[in-house]
Structure 1
Amino acid sequence: MRIGAHVSVAGGVDNAVTRQLDVGGNCGQIFTHSPQVWQEPNIDEEKASTFREGTANDLDGPWVIHASYLVNLATPKPDLREKSIESMQQEVDAAEQLGVEYVNVHLGAHTGAGVEAGLDNAASALDELDVPDGVTVLVESDAGSGTKLGGDFAELAAVLERSDQDLGVCLDTAHAFAAGYDLSSRAAVETAMEAFADTVGLDALACVHLNDSKHEHGTHKDEHAHLGEGEIGDEGIEAIVTHEALRDLPFVLETPTEDGRSYAWNVDRARTLRAE
């Protein structure tokens, strides 16, 4: 099972490998810098080399770089669009430097421009990127609150269809659940995956953000819970990690640190549910 967590790069990107091993992970996700600011990754090549070597020697992979929270591909605002494209270009270049396979990004919000215009904006912004060989941009499913796009699988499919880039999809289980796709039982997971297959296509699915949800499905509230202890629950998480279309994908945790438990507990829980 490829399972890991979103870990910190504090003190140098090479520290992410040790932190991943510390929580029992064998793949994972990082930010290259604080996701709350516009900032270049500026990765030291020596630390990048150590990161690459540590990954090759100690992990199964892959790694995913998560784009800045400030990036809004769907925006109608020219200045924000320009900053978003520039930030994404820096992330895909950093991915090439680190030997990271995926860069994950939310489509963002159309902020009143309308769904179709927002989808066009997102696709055309992605087309502005010079994505290095060996790097794939993944668009992430969203909880769909407000004017944010990506909650409906059809919106993910539309961007993949409209973009000239060879894009993939990251399915966030808590986001999909919040957006209205029930994942709380084996039958519900099967129905949701059939919808994904029919709308997006399973070939596009490259990664799963494995998170439980603190809120009921369809609420559009994005708040993650420990695996099996949220509204998705043990049955739903077990169905996800054992589903034929998902089981061989990398699972990345973004679960909370609370109640004396963090990533290590959730990595163990995922493996336990997989084995049951």
Structure 2
Amino acid sequence: MRVGAHVSIAGGVDNAVGNELDVGGNCGQIFTHSPQVWQDPNIDDDEAEAFRDDTSESLDGPWVIHSSYLVNLCTPKDDLREKSVDSMQKEVEAAEKLDIPYVNVHLGAHTGAGVEQGLDNAVSALDELEIPDSVTVLVESDAGSGTKLGGDIDHLAYVLEESEQDLEICLDTAHAFAAGYDLSTPQGVADTLAELDDAVGFENLACVHLNDSKHECGTNKDEHAHIGEGHIGEDGMHAFVNHEDVVEYDVPLVLETPHEDGRGFEWNIQKVRELRDA
């Protein structure tokens, strides 16, 4: 079972490997820099080599790079589009340097341009990227608040179908739940993943952000809870991690759960392992 968490690279990207091991993970996710600012990855050759070597020796993988929160691929604004494409280009180049196979990105918000135009903006922005052969961009599902796109599985399917790039997806369980996909019951999990398979093909689900939700289904509110203790709950989480396709495809599960109530990633990763049936 491949399960891990989004860990810090403070002090050097190579520290992420030890941070992942400390919480009991065998795969994981990182930011290459602060996600709240426009900033290029600053990874020197020695750090990159240590990261690659330590990962190869100690983890099952994969790693995922999460792009900056400022990236907006759907934007109709030329300056924001240019910054977003440039930022993504730097991220896929960093992924190649680190031997990381995936860069994860939200589609962003159309901010009044409309759904169809926003999705077309995202497709054309992604098509501007020069993505190394060893790297795949993952389009992440969204909670769907405001004019943000990606809350509907059909949005993800459209981008994968229309883009010239070989894209895959990342499903965030808390985002999907917030967007109206009820993952709180075994039937709801089965229905949602069947719809996902029909729309994009399960083979294109490269990663799952496994998070519970502090808010009810369909509220479009994105706030993560400890595994099994939110509105998705233990029944939903158990059904998800044991779904036959999740198990068969050995989909990596990356946690972005909170650090509160004296519990953090280590507790949540152990909870996921306990939920997976023998």
Give the TM-score category using the shorter length. over 0.9
Give the secondary structure class of the aligned counterpart of 1:29.
Answer: strand
Q: Does 1:259 align with 2:267?
A: no
Give the secondary structure class of the aligned counterpart of 1:246.
Answer: helix
Match of 1:198 in 2: 198
Q: Does 1:187 align with 2:187?
A: yes
- How far is the alpha carbon of 1:37 from its aligned partner? 0.4
CA displacement 1:88-112 (0-9 Å, x = unmatched)? 0000000000000100000000000
CA displacement 1:197-228 (0-9 Å, x = unmatched)? 11222121100000000011100000000000
- Measure the CA separation in 2 of the matches of 1:123 and 1:159: 6
Match of 1:32 in 2: 32
Runs of at least 4 residues off by over 2 Å? none
Match of 1:233 in 2: 233
CA displacement 1:181-200 (0-9 Å, x = unmatched)? 00001111001111111122
Match of 2:92 in 1: 92
Match of 2:163 in 1: 163
The Cα RMSD (Å) is 0.7
- How far is the alpha carbon of 1:275 from its aligned partner? 3.0
Give the secondary structure class of the aligned counterpart of 1:156.
Answer: helix
Match of 1:272 in 2: 274
Match of 2:110 in 1: 110
Structure 1 alignment gaps of length 5 or more = none
Match of 1:250 in 2: 252
- Measure the CA separation in 2 of the matches of 1:123 and 1:245: 28
- Measure the CA separation in 1 of the matches of 2:251 and 2:232: 19
Q: What amino acid does structure 2 have at the position aligned with 1:275?
A: D
Match of 1:72 in 2: 72
- Measure the CA separation in 2 of the matches of 1:64 and 1:192: 24
- Measure the CA separation in 2 of the matches of 1:154 and 1:273: 30
Give the secondary structure class of the aligned counterpart of 1:75.
Answer: coil
Paired residues in the alignment total 276
TM-score (norm 1): 0.99
- How far is the alpha carbon of 1:160 from its aligned partner? 0.6
TM-score (norm 2): 0.98
Q: What amino acid does structure 1 have at the position aligned with 2:260?
A: E
CA displacement 1:100-155 (0-9 Å, x = unmatched)? 01000000000000000000000000000000011000000000000000000000
Match of 1:14 in 2: 14
Match of 1:50 in 2: 50
Give the secondary structure class of the aligned counterpart of 2:254.
Answer: strand
